[in-house]
């Protein structure tokens, strides 16, 4: 255990006191320093607040100034726009004022015009009433005059007009009939006898057999058993044959024959030859059918050329080019109203040669024109136009003479004839087409033509009976002699012929004969 003295305690206390005094002094100094710092911060804050207040005041002053400037500017713009609007309104008011003034002027003018129109209407009405009164007076005077005239004449106005019209018609008909008779007599004296002699001689000297080409042909078979082979399994053979040739084959109850039907004679001929070859060969199946049809089609060109060459030899036409012969040979398979065109061409060539010899013309040129006159019918499916013009153009391209070309082109009056050959060709064509037996037609066609001819003739006044004779080539009309005189009969014949030509289509010509006969019969008792 240690022993302490009093001075030891005092030193410790003093030290403690000094320490405590130091601590208190430090706290006091720290407080003073903190107060000084706080005062400094407060002063700085007050300075910043004062600066902020002054800046706010400055900003407020600037904002106030800007706001006043904007207000002034807005007021100026408003005043400016107000002035513009006010000016526009003033302009509109001025225009409205001018328009109102114009409307007032127009209204005044319209009122004046209405008044003038009303005055004119009143004047027109007044004049119309006056005209009606005058017309009534004129009608009354006209009726009175007409009544006095009818009393003096002893007939009505309609009766007088009909009588004048009838007299005029009678005079015109009489003059026309006399003129027609005189012209016909003069023509008959100079031309009828010679023309009849030439045509009659040509027809008598030339005669040719004619076989009408029908739409069907028949292929004979060795037996009926071959029909089943032609038909084939499920009909494949006959379908192939019809498809390759373009015709219809009729295998019906006709014994030992097959009928081939088709409008194209070339295809019908190909089908006939092909079927004959197949029947003779005995091998009938689709492949063989195609082979045979192809072979027959190729040989058809040779057949056509040989037909043209044979026809040219028969018509005594020489120096014909190969292309022209091929073209003319096609006419062997062309018909016109059931008349074979190639045979018709040969016939026309002979007729033209005979008539040309009688008239002192060159018969060689005439036969050439007659032989070529329908060559255009073999080309009309390839070109547009009449067959006469088409044929003439074809002949011109192949070096034919200009006389031949014109004669072919002019035989149907498509172009003017430059000589007598065109007229001769027309006459020979008509003779060949209209001679008995040249063209076959059904009984129904003839009956319809006869009925139409008689109907046209019976429609004329004064006709008692009508007879269509010579298969419609001649119409004989018997008239009442009490109603129709000689001059009227001449006019009636001409009128009937013109109406027939306008309302009917027919080959050649139709002769119209009007018969006026007065019979006086008495009996002696």
Structure confidence by residue, pLDDT tens digits, 79-117: 888 888 888 888 898 888 888 888 888 888 888 888 888
Of 485 and 11, which is predicted with more confidence? 485
240 and 257 together in one domain: yes
327 and 406 together in one domain: yes
pLDDT tens-digit readout, 210-240: 333 456 778 888 887 888 888 888 888 888 8
pLDDT tens-digit readout, 234-258: 888 888 888 888 888 888 666 778 8
pLDDT (0 to 100) of residue 120: 87
Residue 419 lies in a domain: yes
173 and 211 together in one domain: no
Residue 225 lies in a domain: yes
468 and 411 together in one domain: no
**Lowest-confidence segment of 64-78, 158-172, 231-245, 302-316 by average pLDDT:** 158-172
Last residue of some domain: 440, 472, 500?
440
Of 483 and 471, which is predicted with more confidence? 483
Last residue of some domain: 415, 440, 465?
440
> What average pLDDT score do residues 123-129 get?
88
| The model scores a pTM over 0.75 | no
CA distances to 163, 371, 395 from 411, in Å = 49, 12, 15
Task: Quickly list DSSP for 323-378.
Answer: HHHHHHHGGGG-EETTEEHHHHHHHHHHHHHHHHHHHTS-HHHHHHHHHHTTGGGG
Place of tokens 């040509």: 202
Residue 436 lies in a domain: yes
pLDDT (0 to 100) of residue 411: 84
249 and 319 together in one domain: no
Dist. CA 405–CA 422, nearest whole Å: 10
374 and 409 together in one domain: yes
Residue 44: CB atoms within 10 A of its CB come to 10
What values do phi and psi take at 413, rounded to 5?
60, 25
pLDDT (0 to 100) of residue 477: 92
CA distances to 153, 249, 252, 261, 290 from 231, in Å = 92, 10, 11, 16, 15
Residue 209 banded pLDDT, cuts 50, 70, 90: very low
**Lowest-confidence segment of 22-26, 182-186, 488-492 by average pLDDT:** 182-186
172 and 146 together in one domain: no
Residue 54 lies in a domain: yes
429 and 449 together in one domain: no
3-state secondary structure 124-161: HHHHHHHHHHHHHHHHHHHHHHHHHHHHHHCCCHHHHH
What values do phi and psi take at 453, rounded to 5?
-65, -45
Is it the case that residue 435 has pLDDT exceeding 70? no
322 and 428 together in one domain: yes
Dist. CA 13–CA 483, nearest whole Å: 192
170 and 228 together in one domain: no
Is it the case that residue 35 has pLDDT exceeding 50? yes
> What average pLDDT score do residues 111-130 get?
87
pLDDT (0 to 100) of residue 399: 87
Determine how β-strand 339-340 pairs with β-strand 335-336: antiparallel
231 and 212 together in one domain: yes
Residue 343 lies in a domain: yes
pLDDT (0 to 100) of residue 86: 86
Say which residues have a Cβ less than 8 Å from residue 216's Cβ, sequence separation at least 6: 250, 259, 260, 261, 268
Please tell me the number of Cα atoms within 13 Å of 84 on its side-chain side. Answer: 5
Is it the case that residue 518 has pLDDT exceeding 50? yes
Number of independent structural domains in the chain:
5
Of 401 and 162, which is predicted with more confidence? 401
Q: What is the DSSP letter of 255?
A: T
> What average pLDDT score do residues 59-72 get?
86
SS3 484: coil
Last residue of some domain: 379, 411, 440?
440
Residue 202 banded pLDDT, cuts 50, 70, 90: low
Residue 6 lies in a domain: no
Residue 17 lies in a domain: no
Residue 487 lies in a domain: yes
Structural domain of 452: 443-516
186 and 217 together in one domain: no
Where residue 271 sits, what CATH number does that domain have?
3.30.1370.10
Residue-wise burial string across 320-335, b where 16 or more C-beta atoms lie within 10 A, e elsewhere: beeebbbbbbbbbbbb
The proportion of the chain whose per-residue pLDDT surpasses 90, expressed as a percent, equals: 2
> What average pLDDT score do residues 319-329 get?
85
């Amino acid at each position: 255990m240690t022993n302490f003295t009093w001075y030891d305690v005092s030193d410790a206390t003093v030290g403690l006191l000094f320490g405590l005094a130091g601590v208190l002094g430090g706290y006091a100094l720290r407080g003073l320093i903190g107060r000084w710092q706080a005062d400094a911060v407060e002063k700085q804050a007050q300075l910043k607040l004062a600066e902020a207040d002054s800046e706010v005041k400055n900003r407020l002053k600037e904002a106030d100034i800007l706001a006043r400037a904007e207000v002034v500017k807005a007021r100026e713009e408003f005043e400016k726009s107000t002035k513009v609007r006010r000016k526009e309104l003033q302009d509109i008011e001025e225009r409205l004022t001018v328009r109102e003034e114009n409307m007032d002027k127009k209204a005044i003018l319209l009122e004046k015009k209405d008044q003038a129109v009303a005055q004119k209407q009143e004047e027109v009405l007044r004049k119309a009433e006056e005209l009606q009164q005058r017309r009534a007076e004129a009608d009354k005077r006209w009726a009175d005059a007409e009544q006095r005239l009818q009393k003096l004449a002893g007939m009505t106005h309609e009766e007088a007009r009909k009588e004048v019209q009838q007299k005029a018609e009678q005079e015109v008909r009489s003059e026309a009939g006399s003129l027609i008779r005189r012209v016909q007599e003069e023509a008959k004296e100079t031309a009828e006898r010679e023309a009849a002699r030439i045509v009659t001689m040509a027809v008598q000297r030339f005669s040719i057999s004619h076989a009408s080409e029908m739409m069907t042909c028949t292929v004979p078979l060795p037996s009926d058993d071959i029909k089943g082979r032609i038909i084939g399994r499920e009909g494949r053979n006959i379908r192939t044959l019809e498809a390759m040739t373009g015709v219809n084959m009729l295998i019906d109850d006709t014994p030992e024959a097959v009928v081939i039907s088709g409008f194209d004679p070339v295809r019908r001929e190909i089908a006939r030859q092909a079927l004959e070859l197949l029947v003779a060969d005995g091998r009938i199946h689709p492949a063989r059918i195609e082979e045979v049809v192809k072979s027959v089609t190729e040989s058809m060109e040779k057949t056509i050329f040989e037909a043209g060459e044979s026809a040219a030899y028969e018509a005594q036409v020489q120096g014909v080019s190969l292309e022209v012969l091929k073209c003319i040979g096609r006419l062997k398979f062309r018909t016109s109203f059931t008349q074979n065109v190639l045979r018709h061409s040969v016939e026309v060539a002979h007729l033209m040669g005979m008539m040309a010899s009688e008239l002192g013309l060159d018969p060689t040129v005439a036969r050439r024109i007659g032989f070529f006159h329908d060559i255009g019918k073999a080309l009309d499916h390839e070109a547009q136009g009449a067959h006469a013009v088409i044929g003439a153009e074809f002949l011109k391209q192949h070096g034919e003479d200009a006389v031949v070309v014109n004669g072919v082109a002019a035989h149907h009056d498509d172009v003017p004839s430059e000589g007598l050959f065109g007229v001769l060709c027309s006459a020979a064509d008509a003779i060949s087409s209209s001679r008995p037996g040249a063209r076959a037609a059904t009984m129904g066609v003839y009956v319809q033509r006869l009925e139409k001819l008689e109907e046209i003739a019976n429609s004329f006044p004064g006709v008692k009976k009508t007879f269509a004779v010579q298969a419609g080539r001649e119409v004989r009309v018997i008239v009442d002699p009490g109603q129709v005189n000689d001059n009227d009969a001449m006019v009636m014949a001409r009128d009937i012929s013109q109406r027939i030509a306008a309302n009917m289509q027919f080959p050649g010509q139709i002769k119209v004969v009007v018969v006026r006969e007065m019979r006086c019969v008495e009996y002696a008792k």
